[in-house]
Amino acid sequence: MANSIVNVTDATFKQEVLESELPVLVDFWAAWCGPCRMVAPVVESIANEYNGRLKVAKVDVDHNPNIAGQLGIMSIPTLIVFKGGQVAKAMVGYMPKDQMKKQLEGVI
C-alpha cells in the first residue's frame, strides 16, 4: 500500500476523515472481496497522483463494522469522498482510473 494511504479504524475515522482539512476518499473494503482487490491499485494510483490535494484512506469493514454500519454501506467496494466532514460523492463497485478521476474532479 502506498505511503500516502491511511488505514482508518472505527476509532480514528472522525479524526482522520471527518476532521480532515483535505477532501478524503475512503475505500471501504474487505480482504475476501474480489472487486476490492481489483480497485486497490486504482485507489493507490489516485492516492499518488492526487497527493497533497486529496487524502486517501482505507477501512476494512470486517475489522471496523461500526462506521460502515453508520454510513449504511451494504456493498463493497464502496468509495466515498468526504469534504468538510460531509459525504460529497459515493461510488459503489469497481471502476477504471479514468472514470474514477472524472468522478473525483467534480468534488475536489
- From the list 6, 24, 36, 54, the catalytic residue is 36
Q: What was the pLDDT predicted at 5?
A: 95
Phi, psi (deg, nearest 5) at residue 70: -65, -30
Average pLDDT of 46-70?
96
State the pLDDT at residue 30.
Answer: 98
Instruction: Check whether 2 has a pLDDT greater than 80.
Output: no
Percent above pLDDT 90 for the chain? 94
Output the pLDDT for position 3: 67
Range 35-57 average pLDDT: 96
**Would the pLDDT of 9 be above 60?**
yes
- Which has more confidence, 28 or 108? 28
pLDDT over 70, % of the chain = 97
Active-site residue, 33 included: yes
**Angular region, 58: left φ>0, alpha ψ -120 to 50, beta rest:** beta
Residue 72 has pLDDT above 60, yes or no: yes
CB count within 10 Å of CB 82 equals 25
96 φ/ψ sector (left φ>0, alpha ψ -120 to 50, else beta): beta
Catalytic-role residue among 4, 12, 30, 33: 33
Half-sphere exposure (CA, 13 Å, Cβ side) for 92?
Answer: 5
Q: What is the pTM of this model?
A: 0.95
